[in-house]
Chains A and B, each alone.
Chain A
Amino acid sequence: MLNKFPLWKNVMIIVIIAVAALYALPNLYGEDYAIQVSATRTVTVDDKTLNQVEQTLSELGVQAKGITFENDQILVRVNTDAEQLQVRDALLQALGNDYVVALNLAAATPKWLAALGAEPMKLGLDLRGGVHFLMEVDMDEATRKIQEQMRDTVRAELREERIRSSSIRRVDDDVVVELRTAEDYTAARRYLNNRYQGYRLIDDAANNTLRLRMTEVKLKETQDYAISQNVTILRNRVNELGVAEPIVQRQGASRIVVQLPGVQDTARAKEILGATATLEFRFVDTESSLRDAEMGRVPFGSELFPNRNGGNTLLREDVILTGDHIVNATAGFDENQRPQVSISLDGPGGNKMSLATRDNIGRPMATLFIEFKSTGERDANDRLVFERHEEVINVATIQSRLGSNFRITGINSQQEAQNLALLLRAGALIAPIQIVEERTLGPSLGQENVNLGTKAILWGFILVVAFMALYYRWFGWVANLALTANLVLIIGVMSMIPGATLTLPGMAGIVLTVGMAVDANVLIFERIREEIRAKRTPQQAIHYGYDSAFSTIMDANITTLIVALILFAVGTGPVKGFAVTLAIGIVTSMFTAIVGTRAVINAIWGGKKIDRLSV
């Protein structure tokens, strides 16, 4: 008998390995020093910005390795880290505050490879350096705010319906309404029943008491809203930090993960992430002269602020209301199809607004936006300098007495209404956040980890290759070939999967795979030796050796795969990284060790008559 593979099988093996090799290739090219320019919310990056960047570079006399404009970002690649800093500083000056200019490392993948979608593996923070925060959103606070708002709504509406209550309170997660008489109770019950979406009415006729309880759906909705709103705010702030490729993601029911690659100054990062951008509502000072104020003669009791149209607005010092009373803001249209923003305030906010606007109908009221913004400069310790940034974003005339729900009109466009709503929402955190986990790694340690991991993989590989060559001779070399192909496959697959991240334990997983991957070949070769001892011909020995080892290899690998999959499902961060490489390694090693080696052995020894095998 002869051992031969059909052509299609050989071709398939070669194609699979070639594709993996192609996608593994970008990892060899390393990274370029780069500067990344992106826009903040007030501007967009366009061809004009690109021109500006190019001009700045030519003024500096720096020859860029490449400038690309993709996904609303401009990426400038330069040759050295010194140039990188130089270019960043120049771009900060030239572009001003409206753009985020961040240092980055960009993969130096050649164009033809990048066109195929080939990219190097993503490195975890333990290999890149940077900060990982896990933040917890205070859900009780989020629910409390909503319930207080509900309490005020019920209070106002019952009063309007002339139903007399003795008290309306928030007790835990319920709004409790105590009515004076049985008639009031019946009236209230009829009125409140099914009135509010997401609330259930629990009655207690004996005590003339009604309870409004949030349904599970509404509770979940409230919490989802709190999280997604906080994610938006954090994302805005991270952008202000000027970090390249940040990650801000929801994790589980009440947590948010923030990863800032390359950021070292955790204290600063925490300060900014924890800081509150806020809103204030104030009356416009219509009695004094704006021109006088602009000349420097600001009247006592007033303050001058820049507005969005490039001019200034004179506002009273007294704050009617601050933004932390805003519970929600949505963009929409009024009855004349003009854009508007509807704002909901919490209870105390509604009361304040109501009191302040009662006697001021017809007066203009301004919305002042305050946040902490990066100036782009750095202080002596190389820290970004942040400053208080204030801007009047809207002035509107009060048409009637306002309560907890009101709207801002007089907005130019739907786009602006949406931006304003976003700003109002982003202005105040709906619920406080707290850092519950932090992992910071210096960039030198990250690079050190990469070096150590690579060295361990390399030496592990060399040791195994040497052993296999010594012990199984030519068949050993075939196994070594398979082992090499396996490494290429692991790296190729890791580079192809978009979500896969290489971590230090992930590298350990690769090392372990190198050691265990040869097991399949050991099993096969031992079987072949047995068959030879049993006086089979070499061709029969090869055939039966592979055949009888197969089910054992499957059994053994499936059990390890079960472990890897469970690790992936349950583990977090570094452990997940280990599980990913282990799982990929098991699958690829089965392919290379069983199919790959068979193809080579068939090609070399399988097609002819031989007397003995080098195994």
Chain B
Amino acid sequence: MRQLIKAEQAFPFMRYRWWAWIISGILVVASIVSLGVKGLNWGLDFTGGTVIEVGYDQAADLSSIRQTLDENGFGGAVVQSFGTQQDVLIRLEPLEGVKVQELGDQVLKVLQSAADANVELRRIEFVGPHVGDELAEQGGLAVLAALTGILIYIAMRFEWRLSLGAVGALGHDVILTLGLFSILGLEFDLTVLAAVLAVIGYSINDSVVISDRIRESFRKFHRGTPEEIINEALTSTLSRTVVTSLTTILVLIALYVLGGQLIRGFATALLFGVVVGSYSSVFIGSSLALALGVSREDLMPPEVEKEGEDLEPMP
């Protein structure tokens, strides 16, 4: 048997929980401060406006593009390269006297007539301000709905201390992921929001596996303090935690490296979220349950229920 982790004896995870609390505490506070002070760099989907991506057949001269746009009355345009040197992304605010719907086409025309090189339109996105607000509202609603749905399921499935631990870990992961986007100033658009929701799914997935095991261990071992038993459960699931995070991280790295610019924000959020999620389900979720005083009596099945009653037969 090849093992990443060989543990004959339970590893004392909970002994280090104070370190985890300190580290996570600092990170959460930093994230919240950044979210409060700096906020998120909202993408076009939420703010409304126009984004144009054009492709040049040679390396594009950003400063001359800026100049061209300024000269033609499109001052205030944000011009940056996108992925490669040939690709240029231009972000425009609504302009007076120009119908917003036509802004993109006009800019393209200006660039095409100004450049000696071939300018190819790769992408235009225009989102009306009203639509942006709606998308933001829908996004917020989605996060709330997802959280509520999961809370209900977890509350039904587990004892409240374990549930609260899982939810605490979940909140921790979401705050840190949002914090990362805020601190680094990465653009937060609809796909990133989808990634944050996927992080919620992954994080809860991890916590559920561990909570399941904690419950099982409490029922199986009749001796030992709650701390020892949680350590035992964490040790026996550690191999799974590490392997699953590894495979997920591997595919996400493939996605980050090969998936292209449009999907990079998505991959970044998930990559970070999965790492943080694995850490938090081990150190934060279970130690939270411990702090809340989880004990054997709470997790013992009612008298009538047999051991393993909730395990359904295998297909």
Q: Which residues of A contact B (CB under 8 A)?
A: 9, 126, 134, 136, 264, 266-267, 270, 434-442, 444-445, 448-449, 452-453, 455-456, 459-461, 463-464, 467-468, 470-471, 473, 504-505, 507-508, 511-512, 514-516, 518-519, 522-523, 526, 529-530, 532, 543, 546-548, 550-552, 554-560, 562-564, 566-567, 569-575, 578-579, 582, 594-595, 598, 615
Contact = CB atoms under 8 A, between A and B. Distances in A.
Interface in B243-273: 243-244, 246-255, 258-260, 262-263, 266-267, 270
B124 A440 contact: yes
Interface stretch (B29-37, B70-78, B307-315): B307-315
Contact of A467 (B247, B258, B260): B247
Contacts of B205: 516, 519, 556-557, 559-560
A459 B254 contact: yes
Nearest to A555: B208
A459 B146 CA distance: 30
Contacts of B157: 555
A306 B53 CA distance: 46
A363 B255 CA distance: 74
A471 B243 contact: yes
Contact of B1 (A452, A459, A504, A529): A529
B312 A550 contact: yes
Among all A-B residue pairs, the 10 with the closest Cβ atoms: A460-B251, A515-B251, A436-B128, A563-B201, A515-B248, A570-B142, A452-B260, A560-B201, A460-B254, A438-B126
Question: Which residue, A264, A455, A507, A516, has most C-beta atoms of chain B within 10 A?
Answer: A516
Contact of B263 (A440, A508, A515): A508
A460 B270 CA distance: 14
Interface stretch (B16-24, B191-199, B285-293): B191-199
Contacts of A523: 209, 240
A548 B55 CA distance: 55
A578 to B, nearest CB: 5
A563 B237 CA distance: 24
A515 B252 contact: yes
B114 interface: no
Given A471-B243, A554-B312, 20 more contacts: A126-B262, A267-B102, A270-B105, A439-B123, A442-B120, A456-B251, A461-B251, A463-B247, A463-B254, A512-B252, A518-B244, A529-B1, A529-B239, A552-B213, A559-B208, A563-B200, A563-B201, A567-B197, A570-B139, A573-B190
B138 A570 contact: yes
Interface range, B side: 35 or more
Given A449-B260, A504-B262, A572-B135, A438 B101 contact: yes
A546 B315 CA distance: 9
Nearest to B127: A437
Nearest to A483: B247
B147 to A, nearest CB: 9
A401 B209 CA distance: 82
A566 B142 contact: yes
A441 B255 CA distance: 21
Given A530-B236, A559-B208, A435 B126 contact: yes
A438 B108 CA distance: 15
17 contacts: A438-B101, A440-B123, A440-B125, A445-B53, A452-B260, A463-B250, A467-B247, A505-B194, A508-B266, A514-B251, A516-B202, A516-B248, A523-B240, A529-B239, A551-B311, A566-B146, A566-B149
Interface of B: 1-2, 4, 53, 55, 101-102, 104-105, 120-128, 130-131, 135, 138-139, 141-142, 145-146, 149-150, 153-154, 157, 190-191, 193-194, 197-198, 200-202, 204-205, 208-209, 212-213, 236-237, 239-240, 243-244, 246-255, 258-260, 262-263, 266-267, 270, 308, 310-315
A173 to B, nearest CB: 22
Contacts of B259: 452-453, 456, 507-508, 511
B240 A522 contact: yes
